[in-house]
Amino acid sequence: MRVVQRGFGRPADVLSLEASAPDVLHPGQLRVQVEAAPILPMDHLRVRGLYPLAQETPGVPGSVGVGRVLEGPDPWLGSRVVLPMRSGSWASERVVPVDGTLRLTHEVDPVAASLLRVNGLTAQALLDGLDRGSWVAMNAATGGVGTFVLALARRMGVNVVAVARREEALEGLREAGAALALVDDDGWPEAARQALGEPVHRALDGVGGASTERLGALLADGGRIVSFGAMSRESPRVRVSDGVYRGVLLQGFWLNRLDRMRGDFETGRILNRMVELGIEGRVDSTWALDDLHAALERDRSPERRGRVVLVPGTVWS
Ligand SMILES: NC(=O)c1ccc[n+]([C@@H]2O[C@H](COP(=O)([O-])OP(=O)(O)OC[C@H]3O[C@@H](n4cnc5c(N)ncnc54)[C@H](OP(=O)(O)O)[C@@H]3O)[C@@H](O)[C@H]2O)c1
């Protein structure tokens, strides 16, 4: 079984679950039984045709997946692997190139491992180079990336100022290790500055718009905002008083560019290190492929807490 996307638009209009004959396996390829495939913000964008790396149509959506190699050369056969990015993970079985496939070297729950490829590796890159005892601020702290930022920062001894749009999320952020958790309103940068008494040199922005401005207002002179997402659908912006007079920088980050620069070996090494250290994200719920539309609905629900993950091996019909 596989989800097939025909055209771009609302999921109900362009996605259907279809039975399929097994794909032919060629040299340099692996047949993988997909065990877990998270639904990511980029998947919604690709279904609607709004992501820079377009979904092929007709084609199988699903940017990230983890599974077991059913057919392929040694040492891959029987291994648990992370599928290459955007290889169509919303299916019970996929034939994928060896290039871009990452072998998981430790025994790990496939659902937990499926969160690492995008959310985990993005968080790791966003924190890269920060010293123990330093401070970082971030918005969208309750999200998939934010959850990994908190888990990794705790491990690295980096202090996080976490902001979220919901008051009721703050207690959970503190429990997850945030040194300071605040609602993302106009007053928070000043409140944080007074509470910290320490300079913050890096801020991580997954929201854009006025939320980016507020991160910039907290930063020390010459500090850097790393923009990785725009959940508000607004471009990030920096106030003239921060950007011009205080040298606050705005820099973009895209995991796709980093993947290309560092290659599969290094990407796999870092991902496996996170498994080894027990760095985990948060799973909201798991769904069989048959329940795709309910899973997509859940993913858009304000009640969602963590990642919604498809478990394609479980098809009930
Ligand atoms: N550049 C890259 O390489 C890269 C890699 C990974 C992700 N991303 C992007 O980063 C962003 C976050 O990804 P994610 O996986 O963490 O997403 P996620 O798990 O779906 O979480 C979304 C987060 O954004 C918040 N949010 C949603 N709508 C918002 C709005 N209108 N205003 C303010 N906050 C809002 C949510 O807060 P609530 O808890 O209040 O709902 C939650 O914290 C997405 O845009 C994604 O595409 C980029």
Please list, residue by residue across 248-268, b when 16 or more beta carbons sit within 10 angstroms of its beta carbon and e when fewer do: bebeeeebeebbeeeebeebb
Closest CA to 283 of 109, 29, 51: 109
Spacing, Cα 265 to ligand 1 middle (Å): 28
Q: What confidence score (pLDDT) does residue 314 get?
A: 55
Query: 251 near 262, Cβ under 8 Å?
Result: no
Nearest atom, ligand 1, residue 252 CA: 1
Rounded to an integer, the average pLDDT of 131-160 is 98
231 C-alpha vs ligand 1 centroid, how far in Å? 5
Atom of ligand 1 nearest to the CA of 45: 47
User: Where exactly does CATH 3.90.180.10 map onto the chain?
Assistant: 2-115+282-310
Q: What is the DSSP track for 116-149?
A: IIIIIHHHHHHHTTPPTT-EEEESSTTSHHHHHH
Q: How confident is the model at residue 197 (pLDDT cuts 50, 70, 90)?
A: confident
Question: Residues 122-132: pLDDT tens digits?
Answer: 999 999 999 99
Question: Are the C-beta atoms of residues 233 and 242 closer than 8 Å to each other?
Answer: no
Measured distance CA(135)–CA(101) in Å, rounded: 34
Task: Give 76's DSSP letter.
Answer: T
107: helix, coil or strand?
coil
Predicted local confidence at residue 316, as pLDDT: 44
Does the C-beta of 119 come closer than 6 Å to ligand 1?
A: yes
Identify which of 178, 214, 234 has the alpha carbon closest to the alpha carbon of residue 225. 214
CA–centroid distance, 141 to ligand 1, in Å, is 8
The pLDDT score that the predictor gives to residue 315 is: 42
CATH architecture of 2-115+282-310: Alpha-Beta Complex (3.90)
| pLDDT bracket for residue 317 (50, 70, 90) | very low
What pLDDT, in 10s, does the model give residues 221-254?
Answer: 999 999 999 999 999 999 999 999 999 999 999 9
Which CATH number is 118-255 given?
3.40.50.720
- Among 53, 145, 171, the mutation site with the greatest number of ligand 1 atoms within 8 A of its Cβ is 145
Question: Residue 278 pLDDT more than 50?
Answer: yes
pLDDT at 205: 99
Residues of the chain with CATH 3.40.50.720: 118-255
- Over the stretch 48-71, which tens digit does the pLDDT of each residue have? 999 999 999 999 999 999 999 999
The SS3 assignment for 102 reads: strand
pTM (two decimals): 0.97
pLDDT digits (tens, 9 = 90+) for 72-114: 998 999 999 999 999 999 999 999 999 999 999 999 999 999 9
